[in-house]
Amino acid sequence: MRSSGTGSDISAQDAKDLLSKLITESTKVQVMFRALHEVSAGLQGILGLAASDLIVVKPDLAPDAPFLSFKPNQAVAFKYAAGHAIPEPTLPDVPRFTGALMLIYPDGSQIALFEIEEMD
């Protein structure tokens, strides 16, 4: 049984390495953006590079597909939680997550990337 918990602080290099792994392995993620004043957005997709310092999450390659883009090198803090630290979903048909990477920006906004467990 998984326990609830929070992520551990990681270095910028560790976050960069994890992002590179997610991109290289085309890992499906659920990305959540959270800003001040309870503004948030989310979508599922695959990470890709749009420029040397810009990462884009899109569900597919269609030009009109929804997307979320961010610059990880602008984040000031990083956290990572392994699967055991992520609570089990309480609703049926909700994806399970094997890990989560959080990027925290100077204004307090956050990008969280949840690795979606592959179901065989």
Rounded to whole angstroms, the Cα distance separating 6 from 82 reads 10
Q: Which fold is adopted by the domain 8-116? A: PH-domain like (2.30.29)
How many angstroms separate the most distant Cα atoms in the chain? 41
Q: What is the pTM of this model?
A: 0.82
pLDDT at position 2 over 50: no
Distance CA 39, CA 63 (A): 25
The residue ranking higher by pLDDT, 4 or 22, is 22
pLDDT for residue 118 is more than 60: yes
Half-sphere exposure of 67 (CA within 13 A, CB side): 17
Q: Cα–Cα distance between 116 and 30 in angstroms, integer?
A: 7
- pLDDT of residue 15 exceeding 60: yes
Q: Which of 22-36, 63-77, 89-103 has the lowest mean pLDDT?
A: 89-103
Dist CA 64 CA 57 (whole Å)? 13
Higher pLDDT, 89 or 118: 118
pLDDT of 105 over the 90 cut = yes
CA 37, CA 45: separation in Å to the nearest integer? Answer: 25
Could you report the per-residue pLDDT of 18-37, keeping only the tens digit for each?
Answer: 999 999 999 999 999 999 88
- Calpha distance 53→50 (Å, rounded): 8
